[in-house]
Structure 1
Amino acid sequence: QEEVPTWNYIAVHVYGTVKIQTSDELLTSLHALVDKYEQQSEHPVSLNNMSKKTMRQVTGIIGFEIEINDIQAVNKLSQGRSHDHPKIISELEKQGASEKAVAEEMKKRLHE
């Protein structure tokens, strides 16, 4: 019997009404985003210190907001193959960040 590859995943689907941000709204969002994720950095970056040339790249970004009506979370984590989980986890841990995150979630569920 041949083994056919299968892929494990965790996904979140967000449904709602999309609103495209104005240039000012986008800049406000970008400032908040950069400030939040740079605050723990050894040398934090701030949009306030960016050159006009660099900031012109912002015109290539389309910001949006979603008024959420529904959120659906789904996963497929080899539920029918629990006897193979240690091997599957081991193989996922050898790959990229996304695969390692799936492996961590599978480890948590091993003990449930």
Structure 2
Amino acid sequence: EALGAIGNPEVLDILKRYSEDPVVEVAETCQLAVKRLEWLQENKEELGSSPYLSVDPAPPAEETDVAKLRDTLLDESCSLFDRYRAMFALRNLGGQAAVLALADGEPACQSPAEPALAD
């Protein structure tokens, strides 16, 4: 994720190679970084700053409808990048409905190898 956050497209080839890694955590992290770099190349002027002063692995989605963002977050047929975009958009929106949508998405955002959080 850090290589994607830096935003230098020179690392795309190596990230693409490792996006097929048999270790799912390595592959998914590299896939996120590749998508972020590709998004940055297409949308350079559109990247805003996070209200939390963070550099996120995916830019927030432009959508502001909490129900639609929740649907994307929970839809495991969507790419991890799009689901992260929905997650960061919900985080930035804030409010009770957005927080509840994020809570609904907690189990869906874990990789298969990651254990569920305890209640």
TM-score of the pair, normalised by structure 2: 0.28
| Structure of higher RCO (CA pairs closer than 8 Å, 6+ residues apart) | 1
Please say which structure displays the higher CA radius of gyration.
1
TM-score of the pair, normalised by structure 1: 0.30
